[in-house]
Chain A
Amino acid sequence: MLTLWTRVVQAAFIFLTTESIVPPEKPKNLNCIVNEEKNMMCQWDPGRKTYLETNYTLKSEWATEKFADCKAQRDTPNSCTLDYSPVYFVNIEVWVEAENALGNITSDHINFDPIDKVKPNPPHNLSVRSSEELSSILKLAWINPSIKSFLRLKYSIQYRTKDASTWSQIPPEDTSSTRSSFTVQDLKPFTEYVFRIRCMKEDGKGFWSDWSEEASGITYEARPSKEPSFWYKIDPSHTHGYRPVKLIWKTLPPFEANGKILDYEVTLTRWKSHFQNYRVNDTKLTVNLTNDRYIATLTARNLVGRSDASVLTIPACDFRAAHPVMDLKAFPKDNKLWVEWTAPTESVNKYILEWCVLSDKSPCIPDWQQEDGTVHLTYLRGNLMESKCYLITVTPVYADGPGSPESVRAYLKQAAPSKGPTVRTKKVGKNEAVLEWDQLPVDVQNGFIRNYTILYKTAFGNETAVNVDSSHTEYTLSSLTSDTLYMVRMAAYTDEGGMYGPDFTFTTPKFAQGEIEAIVVPVCLAFLLTTLLGVLFCFNKRDLIKKHIWPNVPDPSKSHIAQWSPHTPLRHNFNSKDQMYSDGNFTDVSVVEIEVNDKKPFPEDLKSMDLFKKEKNSTEGHSSGIGGSSCMSSSRPSISSGDENESGQNTLSTVQYSTVVHSGYRHQVPPVQVFSRSESTQPLLDSEERPEDLQLVDNVDSGDGVLPRQQYFKQNCSQHETSQDISHFERPKQVSSVNEEDFVRLKQQQISDHISQSCGSEQMKMFQEISTAAVFGPGTEGEVERFETVEMEAAIDEGMPKSYLPQTVRQGGYVPQ
């Protein structure tokens, strides 16, 4: 009682603390199997897990007695094997009792005759024998299991060819009774078959036995059931009058050979009466045929007989093939490469299908097969590889010869390309880039290239994808940013995927092509146009400009100069020069020292004069207006004033200029020295009395010879010695009126002088600056003027004797010094 209470308490505790601990469920699906010569085993479904130690007991009894209980093992609570062998033909009642701490329960009882639950042992010693009389049968024999003495059996017999994987079944009604042999019919000749057999109780109660061990046998040979596939190839490099023809054929498959093929017999018929027979063990035969039409026949022979003949027409040399198949297409299906076409309208004897792997690395080695003339859909029966491009050719064969072949490309199974396209730039613009790439080699395509994808991005931008049709080999990327690095990669896609090629980078330029030219050229043109317009404006308005810029110089021609030199011829003896001066153009008054030089002809001197006159017209008249040579030296005091304007104004109204016409320009000796005395009250410069102090700049002379001015400079450099016969004059303002060529000459000369006379640099420097100032216009006039003044002061400071130097002409007149 105490034990009972303890158990109850334990069970209650377990039940309350653990949800999953439950009493056993009623066992279900109880069933038993009686393995022949072994004890009976029963199985059941124990139901949910109890998480308690649960005992399952298999109980069994007859009507007249009980048998010992069978307790299930703990690790297999769903089955139990009885200790005794079951007795057939006696009904037994079986049930299962499940028990644990929480209770017990009994399954439904089942009542059966053990013979109805028997699983016999399989038949053994299965043997197979062939029959020489019939090549389509095999005889099976076996030994039945011992249970055959207790019951009647039925059988299941299966067979297959040796290389097949699926079994064929002998009709059950043929093996529904107890037997120990059976003859299998309708087998293929010369074929090895494998058999197996099993048995069970005839009425279908119980279980099938296991399969017996397999046994095999070969049916006897029969005549080849079909003619071999037959085709030919003609070597294009045929010799004169003959053509080597290679006849090829396929070995018959075993199910058509029906035995071991001993040899093949080839017959060539040129004319109806001309035969050539060949017996060949190989599957090819090369013969030299004439250009005539031939009929070739082929038969295969085995131990039993000969196959039907395969006939092939080898047309004459001038035969023209025609009538190809139509709508040829190839497609993969069920791991086979199928070829389909539409038959020509003409009657076709057969079709020849040839195929080879397209590759850039290896030549196309064709394989072939033959199909009947009624076929328009077949698959290639070769060892095809995946991811390889096959070139498939279908040739219809007519009675008079082969028709035109048709080809198509196909893949057994496509894959992604093994390499991606290599993209490069063909042209890069500011905002666009033309990319180009090569078609992938067929060896790496692994399928039909359906499209390309171009991915491009900047260093920090998002990637942009562009799909391009597979027929293209270049593409233009537009809307790019200038002066930007772009990264491009490209993928080629087949139906099965894509593969990217190597990355490629390019940089867009900052300016588009011609953009710089488009900017610079118009600017230059505008500048030139502006300049030209300015020049034209200046040219057109030169009078106005002159009026505003140039000084209003009194016309010396309207002045009256008294003839004061008794040695001077009369004025009217001036001849043409007189006229020249009287025309009013001779606006400047210059002091010209005429240098006697017999070497220079007079006409040139006139030219110089004319040129000189022009120069004077075109420049601001800045000649000193102070004439006088050494011989013109006067004791009249010179007026020097630091106030230019004032002095200018004063002198303009009071000073008369003397004019000396220089006829010895450029080393030309004037015929006559003319001296005119001005009636001007302008005091003569001091330099006229001391010509050695004059600093003269000649902007004209650039001759190589030793010029008096050069001598002057030298002398001036020596400071104190002045030769009387060395003429010198000072015309600083006229320098500016000389053309640039002359100025360059002068500079050259100046440089040479500077080199040779370093001590004369001061004068040269002054000269340069003056000249430069003159050349660059009035804007620099003041500077020049100031510079001259400085020089003057410097000369004074150095203790040089004071002299009157020609002054810069200011607007409105000369400023005497």
Chain B
Amino acid sequence: MQVQLIRRTLLGLVLGLLLLSTVAMGSCSGKYQVLLGQLQQQAKIMQNTDMLLDPYIRIQGLDKLNHKEYCKERPGAFPGKDALRGLSRWGFLQTLNATLGLVLHRLAAFQQKVCNLTKDKDQDWKTLCQAELYIRGIRNNIFCLTRLLNLNGSSEVFAPTWAGPRTLPWPTPSPGAFNRKIDGCKFLQGYHRFMHSVGQVLGEWEEGPSRTRRHSPFWAPQGRAGRTRPSRRAKRPMPRGLLPP
């Protein structure tokens, strides 16, 4: 137990030093409410299916079907609202960051396939690209908020993250291209629902960053916190944390 405490302390110290070096960039807003509001707005934007699902459906030609029937979220693919509420801020941010990384990964794979098929990038394609940029922006704000929380000495840095499914819902081997399209559709449906939940949870974060956490229980896998620090050198921040590279 004591050894575990020492390890945690050391890891927190190292993470803090790394975050300090990132602050020197100065691109993050130093105000918690601003960052929180930005995240709320981003979650609001991303819960709108216009950003991803609808273009995806149109691109994949699923709009002729009753996609509402087919594109139902696969249960357990994304954390539920309650699960998110139960996380600490740090855990919540880690979970969000990891989930967005997963989405970016799927989008990257999708874009590669679609780029081969779609020569002229129409508006839906542009929307997908814009959505990808927005997701990266969310992750930027998560980074900034996490750093802000750490600078304020919150002990939530070491709070546990969501321990949901460790497997990628996509690309799950499924027979046929149609099923793959349906899988992607279900995935995006789940993503929008997830972002809606994120927005709701963030809406509950009205108090300042030093508020006592009232959510429980939290656990975080030891040694994973250090991986939440984004690399400034990375052109495209890849989802880390819960998501596999």
Contacts and interface: CB of A to CB of B under 8 A. Distances in A.
A89 B28 contact: no
A62 B27 contact: yes
Interface in B103-157: 130, 133-134, 136-141, 143-144
Interface stretch (B158-166, B173-181, B190-198, B231-239): B231-239
B140 A90 contact: yes
Given A64-B230, A64-B232, A65-B140, A88 B27 contact: no
A88 B41 contact: yes
B146 to A, nearest CB: 11
Nearest to A115: B41
Interface residues of B, number: 32
B27 A61 contact: yes
Contacts of A63: 22, 25, 27-28, 140, 143-144, 232
Contacts of A64: 136, 139-140, 143, 230, 232, 234, 237
Nearest to B43: A89
Given A64-B232, A65-B232, A84-B133, A89 B27 contact: no
B28 A91 contact: yes
Contacts of B134: 87
Interface in A14-68: 61-65
Contact of B144 (A61, A85, A91): A91
Nearest to B236: A65
A443 B184 CA distance: 91
A93 B27 contact: yes
Given A63-B25, A65-B136, A109-B26, A90 B141 contact: yes
A92 B26 CA distance: 10
A150 interface: yes
A150 B139 contact: no
Interface in A403-447: none
A89 B139 CA distance: 12
B38 interface: yes
Contacts of B234: 64-65
Contact of A91 (B29, B42, B48, B133): B29
B220 interface: no
B45 A85 contact: no
A151 to B, nearest CB: 8
B26 A90 contact: no
Contacts, number: 75
Interface string A133-150: 000000000000000011
B132 to A, nearest CB: 10
Interface in B212-245: 230, 232, 234-237
A741 interface: no
Contacts of B140: 62-65, 90
A65 B143 contact: no
A62 B136 CA distance: 10
Contacts of A109: 26
Interface string A784-810: 000000000000000000000000000
A61 B130 CA distance: 17
A85 B51 CA distance: 14
B41 A111 contact: no
A85 B128 CA distance: 13
Contacts of B39: 89
A88 B48 CA distance: 15
B22 to A, nearest CB: 7
Interface string B34-50: 10011101100100101
Interface residues of A, number: 21
A494 B84 CA distance: 90
B192 to A, nearest CB: 14
B26 A88 contact: no
A84 B38 CA distance: 20
Interface string B82-95: 00000000000000
Nearest to B35: A91
Nearest to B135: A87
A721 interface: no
A344 B17 CA distance: 94
A762 interface: no
Q: Which applies to chain A's interface (DSSP): helix, strand, loop or mixed? A: loop
Interface string A86-125: 0111111100000000000000010101010000000000
B143 to A, nearest CB: 5
Of A65, A88, A93, most buried by chain B (CB within 10 Å of CB) is: A65
Interface string A619-659: 00000000000000000000000000000000000000000
Contacts of A92: 27
A151 B38 CA distance: 11
A64 B237 CA distance: 8
B134 to A, nearest CB: 6
A9 to B, nearest CB: 38
B130 A85 contact: yes
A111 B27 contact: yes
Contact of B133 (A87, A93, A111, A149): A87
A113 B141 CA distance: 11
A150 B130 CA distance: 14
Contacts of A111: 26-27, 29
Nearest to A84: B133
Contacts of A93: 25-27
Contacts of A65: 136, 140, 232, 234-237
Contacts of B133: 84-85, 87
Contacts of B48: 149
Contacts of B41: 88-89, 115, 150-151
A69 to B, nearest CB: 14
Contacts of B45: 88-89, 149-150
A113 B37 CA distance: 11
B197 to A, nearest CB: 18
Contacts of A150: 41, 45
Nearest to A151: B41
Contacts of B22: 63
B31 to A, nearest CB: 10
B137 to A, nearest CB: 4
Given A64-B139, A64-B232, A150-B45, A91 B27 contact: yes
Contacts of A90: 38, 42, 137-138, 140-141
Contacts of A85: 130, 133
B42 A89 contact: yes
A64 B27 CA distance: 8
Nearest to A89: B38
Contacts of A62: 27, 137, 140
A90 to B, nearest CB: 4
A527 to B, nearest CB: 128
A87 B134 CA distance: 6
Contacts of B137: 62, 87, 89-90
A272 to B, nearest CB: 79
Nearest to B143: A64
Contacts of B141: 89-90
Contacts of B130: 85
Contacts of A84: 133
A85 B131 CA distance: 11
A109 B25 CA distance: 11
Nearest to B130: A85
Of B27, B39, B137, B141, most buried by chain A (CB within 10 Å of CB) is: B27
Contacts of B34: 113
Interface string B41-64: 110010010100000000000000
Contacts of B139: 64
A650 B188 CA distance: 188
Given A89-B42, A90-B141, 12 more contacts: A63-B27, A63-B144, A64-B234, A65-B235, A89-B39, A90-B137, A91-B38, A92-B27, A93-B26, A111-B26, A149-B48, A151-B41
10 contacts: A61-B27, A62-B137, A65-B235, A65-B237, A85-B133, A91-B28, A91-B38, A93-B25, A93-B26, A113-B29
Q: Which are the 8 A-B pairs with shortest beta-carbon distances?
A: A90-B137, A63-B27, A89-B38, A87-B137, A93-B27, A63-B28, A89-B41, A64-B140
